Amino acid sequence: MIEYIKGNLTDLTPTYAVIEAAGVGYAVNIALPSYSALVGKENSETKLFVTEIIREDTHDLYGFFTRGERELFLMLMTVSGIGANTARMIMSAYTAVEIRQIIATGNARALSQVKGLGPKTAQRIIVDLKDKVLKVDLDSHAGSGGMENAANGYSLEIKGADNEVKQESISALTMLGFAAAASGKVVDKILTAEPNASVEQVIRQALKML
């Protein structure tokens, strides 16, 4: 099992990062909190804690800026009906701190706002994890710095034209499995209401609207 990958961050999008270590480029799936922590650190050394998801037809790496995030991700996947993509969707719609609070307080309504989570699945997550989730140490981390801001809801502004934020947001949503046309309409609606929204802010809102 790979515990972490440490190397040069050569590519970064809201859904994946490429880290070059010992001459090998590792494509690592990430959620929005890790993206926020890594923005601005391209071409510098970084470290992600990873877990391997191995299936017959694919071998994927999922990376997290903190051990606590990884533990929460793996905990979500223990719930029947929750796979890696759905777990990442949940962790992109809310911060790890928010997820822990939502589950601990039994807020099934908030969970069911995430794409693919109906009321029954949301309730199953709460029943299965309510007594476990508060034991997750979300402050346990080692990396390049900056996760504190992400955990507190801080969103990094993406400099540049509005269409850059739009295109990056639509691209990320498409990679998460949403139709490009539907994603475009939702992103347009969000940016019309909030022209200065960052990529992370747009994606978080879109995940609750699509």
Reported as a single tens digit per residue, the pLDDT across 123-143 is 999 999 999 998 888 764 444
Alpha-carbon distance 4 to 102, whole Å?
A: 28
Give the residue with greater pLDDT, 152 vs 98: 98
pTM of structure: 0.76
Domains and CATH numbers, the chain: 4-65 (2.40.50.140), 67-135 (1.10.150.20), 162-207 (1.10.8)
φ, ψ (nearest 5 deg) of residue 66: -130, 155
Q: Give the ranges where the chain is alpha helix by DSSP (H).
A: 32-38, 67-76, 84-93, 96-104, 108-111, 119-129, 147-151, 162-175, 180-193, 199-207
